[in-house]
Amino acid sequence: MSAIDERRSQFKKYKEDVKDRGKPFYPYAMFHDTVMSLVVVGVIVGLASVWFYTSGENPDTCGGKDSCLLGPRYSEPADPGTTNFVPRPDWYFYFLFYLLRIFKWPDSVILGTVGIPTILLIIAFALPFLDIRSERRLSRRPVAVVAAILVVISMGELTYKGAVAKEALASEVVAAVPQWAQREGFANDPKAVAGANVFAEGGCTSCHTYLGTGGGNLGAPDLSAEGSKGKGVQGLESYVADPSKFGNTVMPKFGAFASIPAKDAQGKDLGISQLRVLAIFLDASKGPK
Amino acid sequence: MAVSARTRKSARLQRLEAAINYPIDWLEERSGLVGGLRYFLFRKVPGDSNWFHTLGSATLTAFLVQATTGVILAMYYKPEPKTAYASIQHITNDVTLGWLVRGMHKWGASVFIILLFFHMARVFLFGAYKYPRELNWIVGVLLLVMGMAEGFTGYLLPWDQTSYWATVVGINLNGTVPFLGPYIAQFLRGGAEIGPDTLARFYSIHMLLIPGAIFALIGLHLYLVVRLGVSSPPWSKEAAGADWVEEQVTTNGRSGLTQPAARSSWRRNGGDAE
């Protein structure tokens, strides 16, 4: 008997077995389904109630507590002008989010954004055609069991790491600026120092790293030695203003910085924009001495 | 006296029965829906189906919660950058039970995704995607993709910092797809920048396009479940259609109730008599 005939006769036997000694869907299976559905609705109502009663009416507040059990009701209203914000997806995208810490722009980031998700999806769709044996007992499907365990562990690990990923707080980053100036040797250039402050306060370290500080999210590269790549102040300025012009479609545009005047540590106007000092800072970053 | 009273009552009962049956028969004659429902409810499922088999209907329940709360939210939500955030605040803090509806929608999304994965894991471990149920597995994976897309498009709607910046980056990541990337990103944004068009677009995709597709795919999914039946647990000693059942019986030399013939006649006469 060929494989397909065997499977057909097996399914015929299934139909006969169900007919002979199965139980009617109503009321037996339906009873279980109803109980389970009530549990699901109960859990959803429970989560909604806990979320609401442990959060506050104002954005990002938790009714007097430090952190909400299930998150705030909403954060501040969307503001395209601010950048000091860590882009964070909903939890079921954390595994993709964290995958992008492993791959770096520009060489391999596409593996994290497109490559691995596409491969996973193709495997998921093709599964019934990759595993064509009719065997269903787990003890006789070692490959399937090992694959399932590996998938659960790796997805769980990436989701967990995405959830606990440390974010660079602007206050901590700003405190590191004098040390950056020292180690990179631009302490005597007030424009570069002002640019370092814009870099620290502007939220660049949400994704980028600089001398060990920062998030390293979304494949963003380390910028400690960005100035040694020969892009020049002008080049860096236009890159940051609109990275998509240079083929970088991941990084948001920061052209808004061009209209904000830069100030030095004493609050004196430097006469140039924040975008310009940012570019001067990046150009002065030739790597730690 | 007593006899005639009983006859009168039974005549009245008959009239009542006829009155109840009339619309049902009317509907059945013209649509066949009553027979369809009867078939759906009284079809046989394997005798060893258990709590694991409730994950699919639990996922469906979570989806129906999303659909219901979503319709209510749509009555109050205003998909404009200037008004979206305020309308979310209004729903959460002012509208009667608005917090419950929004909270159920927000958390129902997570429950829906978790149940999708649990249901998928159950089908995988039971080997229930194998012949002849391959197509239903594919429909299920499509439903998972649709569910994730719902999560992505719904995340933007509160129009707060969290949702805005996650979506900026999310769209940019879509932009890294070779060749098509820039077009996908352009389509999602509805222009060069995220703005009013993006919000309206995400809202339309989130509440019309994908839910429509999900409803259609669930219909197909359920049709295939009813047509093909559900798999017995692979460890079951009385799994329907499994060749290992006889094997076990003969090799273990068991007798009595575990023997298929004996068991089936017992079942027919006792437990599950219709």
Q: How many domains does chain B have?
A: 1
| Residues paired with residue A263 on neighbouring β-strands, in sequence order | A269
Looking at the predicted structure, is the pLDDT value of residue B158 above 50? yes
Looking at the predicted structure, is the pLDDT value of residue A163 above 70? yes
Q: Is residue B209 part of a domain?
A: yes
Contact status of B241 with chain A (Cβ, < 8 Å)? yes
Report, as an integer, the average pLDDT of A142-167: 90
A185 or A85, greater pLDDT: A185
Q: Is residue B65 part of a domain?
A: yes
Burial class (CB in 10 A: 0-12, 13-18, 19+), B45: buried
Q: Do A18 and B165 touch (CB under 8 A)?
A: no
Q: What does the block give as tokens for B99? A: 């917090």
> Residue B247's closest CA among A140, A20, A2?
A140
pLDDT at A88: 81
Helix (H, G, I), strand (E, B) or coil at A213: strand
- DSSP secondary structure string, A15-37? HHHHHHH-EEIIIIIHHHHHHHH
pLDDT at A111: 87
Residues 6 or more apart in contact with residue B67 via CB below 8 angstroms: B211
Report, as an integer, the average pLDDT of A11-24: 93
Of B158, B193, B240, the CB nearest to A14: B240
Contact status of B149 with chain A (Cβ, < 8 Å)? no
Contact status of B96 with chain A (Cβ, < 8 Å)? no
Contact status of B41 with chain A (Cβ, < 8 Å)? yes
Q: Do B110 and A19 touch (CB under 8 A)?
A: no
Q: What does the block give as tokens for B124? A: 């995988």
pLDDT band at A97 (very low <50, low <70, confident <90, very high): confident
Q: Do B42 and A24 touch (CB under 8 A)?
A: yes
Of A21, A43, A114, the CB nearest to B111: A43
CA distances from B83 to A34, A59, A257, B106, B196 (A): 40, 16, 26, 19, 11
If you measure CA to CA, which chain A residue comes closest to B85? Answer: A77
Q: Do A23 and B264 touch (CB under 8 A)?
A: no
Q: Do A75 and B274 touch (CB under 8 A)?
A: no
Find residues 109-148 of chain B whose CB sits inside 8 Å of chain A.
109-111, 113, 115, 121, 124-134, 137-138, 141, 144-145, 148
Distance CA A268, CA A190 (A): 11
Q: Do B46 and A22 touch (CB under 8 A)?
A: yes
Report, as an integer, the average pLDDT of B142-166: 95
Domain boundaries, chain A: 23-77, 170-284
DSSP-H helix ranges across chain B? 2-31, 33-42, 55-76, 84-93, 98-125, 134-156, 161-174, 181-189, 196-204, 210-228, 244-252, 260-269
Contact status of A37 with chain B (Cβ, < 8 Å)? yes
Contact status of A179 with chain B (Cβ, < 8 Å)? no
The residue type found at A217 is N
Looking at the predicted structure, is the pLDDT value of residue A179 above 60? yes
Q: Do B100 and A48 touch (CB under 8 A)?
A: yes
CATH of the domain at B62: 1.20.810.10
pLDDT at B268: 41
Of A48, A79, A121, the CB nearest to B103: A48
Distance CA B124, CA B139 (A): 14
Taking only the tens place, the pLDDT of each residue in B56-112 is: 999 999 999 999 999 999 999 999 999 999 999 999 999 999 999 999 999 999 999
Q: Which CATH class is domain A170-284?
A: mainly alpha
Q: Is residue B269 part of a domain?
A: no
DSSP-H helix ranges across A104-141? 109-110, 116-130
Q: Do A127 and B164 touch (CB under 8 A)?
A: no
pLDDT at A257: 86
Q: What is the 3-state secondary structure (H, E, C) of A160-193?
A: HHHHHCCCCCHHHHHHCHHHHHHHHCCCCCHHHH
The DSSP call for residue B177 is S
pLDDT at B216: 98
Contact B106, A68 (CB under 8 A): no
Of B62, B127, B141, the CB nearest to A141: B127
Q: Is residue B236 part of a domain?
A: no
Displacement of CA B226 from its chain's centroid (Å): 14
Q: Which residue of A6, A17, A103 is the best one to mutate when testing the B interface, meaning the one whose CB has the most B CBs within 10 A?
A: A17
Q: Is residue B243 part of a domain?
A: no
Q: Is residue B185 part of a domain?
A: yes
Q: Do A250 and B176 touch (CB under 8 A)?
A: yes
Taking one residue from A and the other from B, the number of pairs with CB-CB distance under 8 angstroms is 268
Q: Which sign does the torsion angle of CA B151, B157, B158, B164 carry?
A: positive
Cα distance from N-terminal residue to C-terminal residue, chain A = 75
pLDDT band at B4 (very low <50, low <70, confident <90, very high): low
> Residue A50's closest CA among A71, A66, A75?
A71
Quote the domain boundaries for residue B162. Answer: 51-228
Looking at the predicted structure, is the pLDDT value of residue B263 above 70? no
Contact B234, B243 (CB under 8 A): no
Taking only the tens place, the pLDDT of each residue in B220-262 is: 999 999 999 999 999 998 889 887 665 554 444 444 444 444 4
Q: Max Cα separation, chain A?
A: 89
- Whether the upstream peptide bond of residue B132 has omega within 30° of 0, thus cis, is yes
- Output the average pLDDT for chain B: 88
- Compute the C-alpha angle A231/A235/A239, nearest 5°: 110
If you measure CA to CA, which chain A residue comes closest to B113? Answer: A92
- Compute the C-alpha angle A137/A25/B49, nearest 5°: 20
If you measure CA to CA, which chain A residue comes closest to B147? Answer: A92
The residue type found at B175 is G
Contact A235, A218 (CB under 8 A): no
Distance CA B98, CA B77 (A): 11
Of A33, A87, A135, the CB nearest to B166: A87
Cα distance from N-terminal residue to C-terminal residue, chain B = 37
Of A52, A80, A87, the CB nearest to B169: A87
Report, as an integer, the average pLDDT of A232-241: 93
Taking only the tens place, the pLDDT of each residue in B164-200 is: 988 988 898 888 888 888 899 899 999 878 889 999 9
Of B109, B176, B263, the CB nearest to A249: B176
Q: Is residue B62 part of a domain?
A: yes
A213-214 vs A209-210, strand pairing mode = antiparallel
Q: Is residue B19 part of a domain?
A: no
pLDDT at B250: 47
- Compute the C-alpha angle A120/A91/A218, nearest 5°: 70
Residues in chain A: 289
Of B43, B130, B194, the CB nearest to A134: B130
Contact status of B168 with chain A (Cβ, < 8 Å)? yes
Helix, strand, coil share (%) of chain A residues, nearest 5: 60, 5, 35
Q: Which residue of B150, B169, B177 is the best one to mutate when testing the A interface, meaning the one whose CB has the most A CBs within 10 A?
A: B169
How many beta carbons lie within 10 A of that of residue B102, not counting itself?
25
Count CA atoms closer than 13 A to B67's CA, side-chain side: 14
* Residue keyed to tokens 């597995």: B137
How many beta carbons lie within 10 A of that of residue A173, not counting itself?
24
pLDDT at B110: 97
